[in-house]
Amino acid sequence: MPLQLDHLILAVNDRERSIGFYSRVLGLTYEGEREPFSVLRVTPELVLQLAPWGTRGGEHLAFAMTQAEFDRVFQAVRDAGIEYGDSFRTVGNMRGPGDEAGAQGAGKAVYFFDPSKHLIEIRYYETA
């Protein structure tokens, strides 16, 4: 097996609000509790473990997805009334997606904050 990220522990301020955000807005699957963590499935190989330790926010999580998934999540962001932007510097300008480079090159991205003020990026890569 190649080296890969297995899980990420993310401190949050409100466990229930965060579970709701990540499951309803981003579409992650809530898998239950493994105290002290709330576990959300990101991919078959990666879970996000929410830790109810409190935080000032400031982490940046970037989620790559297909354009169809992006369209669904972006619509969920708008439906939830979440402020977004076309760059990490411009959250709240209600524009997007913007052009941003990621791990796989150039793509389209939108940025917004989760309930604990972590910066969330959703993105897709355009195929030729």
- Going from N- to C-terminal start, the domains of the chain cover 7-124
Using only C-alpha atoms, the chain has a radius of gyration, in whole angstroms, of 14
Length of the chain: 128
| pTM > 0.85: yes or no | yes
pLDDT tens digits, one per residue of 4-26: 999 999 999 999 999 999 999 99
Q: Given pLDDT bands bounded at 50, 70 and 90, which one contains residue 1? A: confident
Please give the share of the chain, as a percent, with pLDDT higher than 90.
Answer: 96
For the 7-124 domain, the top CATH level (class) is alpha beta
90-113 average pLDDT score: 96
pLDDT tens digits, one per residue of 41-58: 999 999 999 999 999 999
What is the C-alpha end-to-end distance of the chain, expressed in Å?
Answer: 30
The β-bridge partners of 34 are: 37
91-107 average pLDDT score: 95
